[in-house]
Chain A
Amino acid sequence: NAGVTQTPKFQVLKTGQSMTLQCAQDMNHNSMYWYRQDPGMGLRLIYYSASEGTTDKGEVPNGYNVSRLNKREFSLRLESAAPSQTSVYFCASRTAGTGIETQYFGPGTRLLVL
């Protein structure tokens, strides 16, 4: 049981390049999330998927797209990377319910855009 896994762990991009961050969970969770964490700002929600086949925007969705490939996998795509997207990206998952269940987080992807 690996929990939530993310690839890659670290990536350097040039402005304008594209890339996809991968996330997978093996806990049979319905809901999955993508956050970014910047110094002094906590985590901000980019996109989330309440269940397979659905996605919704969070606080800071501009410049990103997501795909809920199946119940296990939720990917985040940067079509044209910008220096402002330099951040640490975290994927998380939780089972659907009444709000008593915790979220589980992956180890993060550190992205540097030059």
Chain B
Amino acid sequence: KQEVTQIPAALSVPEGENLVLNCSFTDSAIYNLQWFRQDPGKGLTSLLLIQSSQREQTSGRLNASLDKSSGRSTLYIAASQPGDSATYLCAVFSGGYNKLIFGAGTRLAVHP
């Protein structure tokens, strides 16, 4: 059974700091891995999608890496800003073609 774990559960950093969020999964047979952002009381917004054949994806200040063999992904946020404060969710497409399995998320607070 696929399980996705995110560490840390919560993180508080000063503005400007570079930070890393971690995601691990138990079954390396995945089609892709996605990172989502969720603002309080809102739905999910896709940030980055890494296909199983890729090693990383970048969008602006965000960089996500994937090491399928070790079952790990990291989301790197450069020069963090208060507007980055949100919950970040990692999810893998696994266990059947149409199933997205989520981690519990990392709640990030960036303070001025």
CB of A74 closer than 8 Å to a CB of B:
no
Q: Does B102 lie within 8 Å of A100, measured CB to CB?
A: no
A8 touches B (CB below 8 Å):
no
Number of interface residues of A (CB under 8 A): 26
Inter-chain contact total with CB atoms closer than 8 Å: 58
Q: Which residues of A contact B31 (CB under 8 A)?
A: 98-99
Which of the segments B14-22, B42-50, B63-71 contacts the partner chain? B42-50
The interface size of chain B toward A, counting residues with CB under 8 Å, comes to: 27
- Bound-state CA distance A44–B99 (Å) is 10
**Do residues B89 and A107 form an inter-chain contact, with CB atoms below 8 A?**
no
Q: Which residues of A contact B89 (CB under 8 A)?
A: 42-43
Interface residues of B in 98-112 (CB under 8 A from A): 98-105
Residue of A nearest to B36 (CB): A105
Cα separation A26 to B41 with both chains bound (whole Å): 23
Choose from B49, B52, B98, B105 the contact partner of A31 (Cβ within 8 Å).
B98
Binding site for A on B (CB under 8 A): 4, 9, 31-32, 34, 36, 41-46, 49, 51-52, 89, 91, 93, 97-105
Offer 5 A-B interface pairs, CB within 8 angstroms, sorted by A: A31-B98, A35-B102, A43-B89, A45-B101, A92-B100
